Amino acid sequence: MKHKDTKTQRNLFLAALCLCVFVFQINGCARRANAPTQPIVKSNRVVLYCSVDDVYARPIIRALEQQTGLKIDVLYDTEAAKTAGLANRIRAEKNRPQGDIFWSSALLQTLLLNREGLLQPYVSPSAKDIPNSLKAKDGLWTGLGVRARVVVFHAGKDALDWRKSPTSLEKLVAPIYAPVGISNPQFGSASDWAAALTVRWGIPKTLNFFRTLKKNHARILPGNSVVAEKVARGELAWGVTDLDDYLAARAKGALGLNFLNPTPTNTVLTPGSVAILNRAPHFSNARKLVDALLRPETENQLAKIMAGVQPIRGPVLPMPGNQNIVPWPGLPGNRAGIPDDTAQWSAAWDSIREPLAEILLKD
Amino acid sequence: MRFRFSLVFTALIIAFLWLPFASLCATALTSAFSHPAQLLEALPLRPLQRSLFFNSLMLSALCGAFSLLFGVPAGLALARGPGRARPLVSLLTALPLALPPTLMATAWLEITRTPPARSLASLAAEKPLPIAPVFIAAPILALCYFPIASLALAAALRALPLEIEEAARLFGSPRRALWRVYLPLLWPALAGAAGLCGALALWEMGAPDLLDARTYSVEIYRAHSAGGEANLAALRGLPMLALGAFLLWPTLGALRFYDKAGQGSARSETSGTIAGCAGLILTCALFLASPLAPVGVFVSQLRGGEWRVFPEVWRDNASELGNTIALSTLSAPLLTIIALGLVAAWKFWPPRWRLAALGLCALPILFPPITLGIALVEFFNRDVFALIYGGLPPSGLAWLDWLTENSARYSMMILGYGARFLPLAIVLLHEAARRVDDHLLEAAQNLGASPGRAARTILTPLLRPALLGVAMLLWALCAAELTVSVLVNQPGGQTLPVPIFNLMHIGMASQVAALSLTLFALTACAVAGLKFALNWKSK
């Protein structure tokens, strides 16, 4: 009898468990089917997909949590897959998005997501004073901070004579400067750089540039910071990286870094970007966070934490301990000559993406 | 009825272990037959694929060889060293297991930044050799995995009968005894250990990525993250499946060796041999390389008042730290209980059915972790699994939203750990359960106990040390897991290895050091628990 009771209890337990799971599934399906575009949310949760380096983003996110009262769940990506990895995740989740906001350290992937209809418009009052060239008209994306792509070289005792330095970016492919270090142009700000060059130089010249670099044993490294460090240590003589990574490597006492005087043609300014994802599950919280993110104070805080990133609005911040940097064209008040071509980056990327991948895959 | 219940339970577990990966592979192969050019991704015909195959093979082979080189002295010391020194050797051998390969690679990258190493690196940079990073990565990984070789050798030596040892002495010459007696007998165990270390190196993603060694795992991860299709990732992972099977084949021979070998009678009588003492000295020297050197490197990053970075780092990474502890604490017992349930159920199955079930549950060990991670994401990213993967819109009910949010936050990580480590737990517990006399369970059944009651009251108490050991091992493995975690982690659910991996690429030395020491401390506690369990078992 006791045996049968145990058996009955077990069966009842299993049945109850199955029923709970079934109810949750039905509940989930029903909520998805009937979910309004902007559901009524009582939760203070917001999900942020962030490709800004987490060491810089965390203090800002912590401050924003305190300011807004929101609980921000962040998903960072790894340095090797930056931005592209998160963007692909957004694409994979498009039918059932988990994320609310995409905060990118670059712009190209945001533009691509926009083209695919994966963003939703929101014109934030905090973005009023951002130049039109650095935000979408309908608020689908907004720029946040800008940094420059720089050429760096090792200035140690075994460095090249200054007189032999390349006078333009195109001349960097000469064998005398090999091996050059670049971060993988399929990821992060390097892909923005490749797209911008395509717009300015054209497809054949851009592909030839990367082809010649690869032919001259260019080191395709997993991140801009790795490029900066290897040049600082003298493992590479030349490299192309971001200004913030150059300053980070210099700040650690790697005195070998320096960079060429930039020209408007070879200067690529990569803005960071903020966008709300289409069908974001916590839309009203997302708007609140975007308003907080795009405030000038937040941008200045980012520029202070992440040396090399300049605010889009407001005065140019002084560079830490570097007297060799000339006023950088393209910064606020000094944009003359910098092509305003971000709108063409996504089309340019489409045309070079696969040939570039082929070039990089060759050994 | 009970047999049917155990059958259904086993089928569910096998389905969980096989379906995601098999589904991805089936889709990939179907797509490849429609587009034959994709098949080239799987075959080492093009230069890149040849390079990946060669690098992966070299890394595995060298890692296996180095693991033997480092592990044999420790194994000798464990089995033949002075009796009083054996607890010390046991501890010195166990500690490297607590150091994840990513941390080891991080530490050695810092060491290579010292001036003498830097000039060597500059020379190498002028004419970069495509295989140089592999030659660097192999010994670094071997410093993490060599305890496997030492434990395998120690167990094999202890299993040798006394008569064999005495017969070997008749040769007169130790070298002849080694070649004629010991090596042929111990070879299966050594080959199995080397194969297992090689397979672990093949599957590792974090350390080769940091060391710039282009292996299959690294390339699949980077290509997939750049927007590559999951199908292509699966095709690229097929050679890893073949290589893994090739490397693990000797392990089957090793398991058969241990099966046939008895308890051995040579343990106490032949302690304190010359070989054992030499092994002890070498083991102490090896301890300097692993884990003392990496820990020393991390500590050196914190000199001069940088110790205050600990509270900052813990505060900044509180979520990841909490997730690591919570997920490991939740997953390790859960997976152990599931493995116990299966193993206990199989005790009452016919032998062929048992073997088939074990085989189906153990074979997923061969699945490359990087492909497994991609497969899990592809499989569970569907509406029907929204409760697990996430993406349910808020309901407005606080308790329900809390439940669904936390479920989405942690479920995929637990499933990832399960897919990765449940086969290992099943194999280990099955080996332990095989040593329990079946007659005990039969006697209990004859006295009227149900199979479940017999398993609960007889089998489980006998397996207690094994259960604790497996749980501790799983805890350490889950806490340090990176390859699958980096793919399946959900917002708010990231664990500690991911920010360490990121910070290492950015180059934040003191933060990396603090987080690395924290992770090492956590896994070292788990390994200490494992040692306690093994000692408990031996008593």
SS3 at position B387: helix
Please give the single-letter amino acid code of residue B117. A
pLDDT above 90 (res A39) = no
Nearest CA-CA distance, residue A281 and chain B, Å: 5
Q: Do A281 and B392 touch (CB under 8 A)?
A: yes
pLDDT above 80 (res B194) = yes
Report the candidate in A280, A276, A264, A217 with the shortest Cα–Cα distance to residue A36. Answer: A280
Report the candidate in A260, A271, A268, A270 with the shortest Cα–Cα distance to residue A339. Answer: A268
Q: Do B381 and A93 touch (CB under 8 A)?
A: yes
Q: Do B505 and A58 touch (CB under 8 A)?
A: no
Q: A289 near A70, Cβ under 8 Å?
A: yes
pLDDT above 90 (res A337) = no
Which residues in chain A have their CB less than 8 angstroms from residue B221's CB?
A: 80-81
Separation CA B415–CA B373 (nearest Å)? 10
What pTM did the predictor assign? 0.84
Which residue in B has a C-alpha nearest to residue A44's C-alpha?
Answer: B398
Q: pLDDT tens for residues A158-199?
A: 555 656 677 778 888 888 887 889 988 888 889 999 999 999
Q: pLDDT tens for residues B366-388?
A: 899 999 999 999 999 888 888 88
CB half-sphere exposure, A66, CA atoms < 13 A: 6
Please give the single-letter amino acid code of residue A74. V
Of A3, A96, A186, the CB nearest to B383: A96
Alpha-carbon torsion, ordered B248, B249, B251, B256, to 10 deg = 160
Q: B429 near B470, Cβ under 8 Å?
A: yes
Paired residues of A270 in beta bridges: A147
Q: Do B386 and A28 touch (CB under 8 A)?
A: yes
Q: B153 near B188, Cβ under 8 Å?
A: no
Q: What is the mean pLDDT of chain B?
A: 83
Helix boundaries (H) for chain A: 2-34, 54-68, 84-92, 108-115, 188-201, 203-215, 224-233, 243-251, 283-293, 296-305, 345-361
A310 DSSP 8-state letter: B
pLDDT above 50 (res B125) = no
In this prediction, residue B376 carries a pLDDT of: 93
What average pLDDT score do residues A343-363 get? 86
Nearest CA-CA distance, residue A336 and chain B, Å: 33
SS3 at position B39: helix
Q: Do B226 and A47 touch (CB under 8 A)?
A: no
Residues in chain A: 363
Inform me whether the C-beta atom of residue A219 falls under 8 Å from chain B C-beta atoms. Answer: yes
Best residue in B502, B510, B512 for a mutation probing chain A (most A CBs within 10 Å): B502
pLDDT above 70 (res A256) = no
Q: B194 near B72, Cβ under 8 Å?
A: no
pLDDT above 90 (res A312) = no
Q: A338 near A264, Cβ under 8 Å?
A: yes
Q: B510 near B302, Cβ under 8 Å?
A: yes
Inform me whether the C-beta atom of residue A11 falls under 8 Å from chain B C-beta atoms. Answer: no
What's the pLDDT band for A81 if we cut at 50, 70, 90? low
Inform me whether the C-beta atom of residue A343 falls under 8 Å from chain B C-beta atoms. Answer: no
In this prediction, residue A101 carries a pLDDT of: 96
In this prediction, residue A33 carries a pLDDT of: 45
In this prediction, residue B266 carries a pLDDT of: 47
Q: Do B502 and A32 touch (CB under 8 A)?
A: no
**Integer angstrom CA distances of residue B51 from A21, B121, B219:** 48, 22, 11
SS3 at position A261: coil
Of B226, B396, B502, the CB nearest to A186: B226
Residue B18: CB partners within 8 Å, gap ≥ 6? B360, B364
Separation CA B458–CA B230 (nearest Å)? 46
Q: Do B221 and A81 touch (CB under 8 A)?
A: yes
Which residue in A has a C-alpha nearest to residue B219's C-alpha?
Answer: A361
What's the pLDDT band for A276 if we cut at 50, 70, 90? very high
Write a three-state SS string for A283-306: HHHHHHHHHHHCCHHHHHHHHHHC
By the 10 Å C-beta count (0-12 exposed, 13-18 middle, 19+ buried), A128 is classed as exposed
What's the pLDDT band for B510 if we cut at 50, 70, 90? confident
What's the pLDDT band for A229 if we cut at 50, 70, 90? confident
pLDDT above 60 (res B529) = yes
Token look-up 């949310």 returns: A41
Please give the single-letter amino acid code of residue B436. V
Please give the single-letter amino acid code of residue A302. L
Q: Do A55 and B492 touch (CB under 8 A)?
A: no
Q: Beta-carbon neighbour count of residue B300 at 10 Å?
A: 15
Give the percent of chain B with pLDDT over 70.
89
Nearest CA-CA distance, residue A361 and chain B, Å: 7
Which residues in chain B have their CB less than 8 angstroms from residue A222's CB?
A: 209, 212, 222, 505
Nearest CA-CA distance, residue A248 and chain B, Å: 9
- Burial letters A134-160, b for 16+ CB under 10 A, else e: bbbeebbbbbbbbbbbbbbbbbbeebe
Of B226, B395, B506, the CB nearest to A31: B395
